[in-house]
Structure 1
Amino acid sequence: MTQLREHSSKLRIKMKTVLFILLMSYFFIPSVVPLQCYSCTNAQSNEICNQNSPVNCTGSQDRCMVSKVSATILGKEVTTLTKGCIENSKCTGTVSVVIVSAGTNCCDKDLCNVNGSVTFHENKLMLTACASLIWLILKLIN
């Protein structure tokens, strides 16, 4: 009878230890929750884009992105937005060439691509290359 009580007591201690470890792991081991981002393709405005349900990023996609293309044609500006998930290595800056500006901004928090803003910065190397190409074409034509 004494051995049975000792065995029962040891079993309770083991069960309490296991329960304690499970409880601590619940609080201290982070759960893997995928990043959520707004997602759309070639939306005409940020409001239209954000009407879509957010998506869960998968695999190595560890950033939310906003890609914006703006063109001014005959005095009218046309802008499209694309949002979604992307790998950090594919996040690029901005390019402005004469009438077209394109850029991508990335962030790493849930739904951080909500505002759809991309700041365009002048890319002097690209502008110089385009100006040189135009000059060369004009030289060949004349």
Structure 2
Amino acid sequence: MKTCLTLFLLACFVAYSEPLSCFSCSNADTNFNCDFNLPQSCAENQVCFTATYTLGGSYKINKGCVNQNECDAASVFGNIDIGVASTSVKCCDYLLCNINGSTTARLNLLLLGVSALVLLVVGNITK
């Protein structure tokens, strides 16, 4: 009986880890379009990545699974901004962590600016 109880308690505390799932897309025009794809299951020792690049007015985003070492190297050497062109690579290691892309940050900044403008106009009208 003690052996069964010990095995049961051991089984309760042993961590079961499911494969990591990440959003996946290739050369999507927007982050919004990218997140409509079904998530991809990663292999062991893989993490999620988000890679974006711009050239002139063209914007592309790639997401998926990649080996941890490759993503670490890419995130160090893959973040470049020279004005007319830029690249960015971000890595993460939890379920669907690569949902955000830089377009989301731009959208949030735009919404923040519009909200501030609305507050300013309403504040001036009610004086």
TM-score by length of 2: 0.69
Q: Deviations over 1:76-117 (max 9, x none)?
A: x11111001112211223122452211211111111100113
Q: For the pair shown, which has the larger CA radius of gyration, 1 or 2? A: 1
Residue in structure 2 matched with residue 69 of structure 1 by the alignment: 53
* Matched letter for residue 39 of structure 1: S
Q: Which of 18, 23, 30 pairs up with 1:45?
A: 30
Q: Which of 98, 101, 106 pairs up with 2:86?
A: 101
Residue in structure 2 matched with residue 23 of structure 1 by the alignment: 8
Aligned equivalents of 1:40 and 1:18: distance in 2? 49
* Matched letter for residue 82 of structure 1: N
Alignment check: 8 A CA contact 2:49 2:64 kept: yes
Q: Which of 45, 49, 59 pairs up with 1:79?
A: 59
Aligned equivalents of 2:86 and 2:6: distance in 1? 55
**1:55-66 alignment to 2 at 5 Å?**
55-61=40-46, 63-66=47-50
Alignment check: 8 A CA contact 1:66 1:117 kept: no
Alignment check: 8 A CA contact 2:45 2:67 kept: yes
| Matched-pair identity in % | 30
Q: Which of 18, 28, 33 pairs up with 1:33?
A: 18
The number of equivalent residue pairs is 99
Q: Which of 64, 88, 95 pairs up with 1:110?
A: 95
Structure 1: 5+ residue stretches without partners: 1-15, 120-142
Q: CA RMSD for the aligned pairs?
A: 1.9
